[in-house]
Chain A
């Protein structure tokens, strides 16, 4: 069975500090991977997606970057956090190929930037 693990569960960070959020998928080779973000009271927005190792596509520009260093790992990061980065970050995976893109979400990371 496939499992998706996100870390950390929650973070409290200072404005201007760096950030790294991680996501690991086990039990599925070559998944499509996604990062989503929801500001408090806002709509869930897709930030990035990755179809293969080393390739990441940006969907929304929020002064964040993403990388896929391994087939089962997706990293979201920034060198300088903004207040506007606060919110709930969700990682998701789907099967490879376009015919069935059911999204399976991790438990999420709640980020507070102060």
Chain B
């Protein structure tokens, strides 16, 4: 069955505001990654977390393997943040399962 549940599927923000994306896992995951889809459809890595939190500019991610979830927080959203974001979790070994993605639209 599905091991990674990503929400929301779509999100609209006004410039300057913030929100959080979330991925829940049905089983204990070893690590999580967050990606953003680029204009051609490939994926750019934003974060890799085996535990705890990481921050990069206006993005911050957290991973709690025990509680089986990860979050990606966006603050002070800008128009260029619009796009599709994915989480991906390592289930064990070299297997990685992706969430279904969140389409983010930032408007003026």
Contacts and interface: CB of A to CB of B under 8 A. Distances in A.
A83 interface: no
B98 A59 contact: no
A106 B42 contact: yes
A74 B42 CA distance: 17
Contacts of A7: none
B42 A105 contact: yes
B40 A101 contact: no
B94 A51 contact: yes
A21 interface: no
A32 B99 CA distance: 21
Contact of A105 (B43, B99, B101): B43
A32 B94 contact: yes
A3 interface: no
A63 interface: no
A49 B92 CA distance: 13
A106 B95 CA distance: 18
Given A90-B43, A101-B90, A106-B42, A43 B98 contact: yes
A32 B90 CA distance: 14
Contacts of B71: none
Given A43-B98, A46-B95, A51-B94, A103 B88 contact: yes
A46 B93 CA distance: 13
Interface string A77-114: 00000000000101000000011111111111010000
B45 A59 contact: no
B52 interface: no
Contact of B41 (A46, A100, A108): A108
B42 A43 contact: no
Contact of B96 (A51, A98, A100, A101): A101
Interface of B: 30-31, 33, 35, 40-45, 48, 50, 86, 88, 90, 93-101
Smallest CB-CB A-B distances: 8 pairs: A44-B98, A102-B48, A49-B94, A105-B43, A43-B100, A105-B42, A108-B42, A107-B42
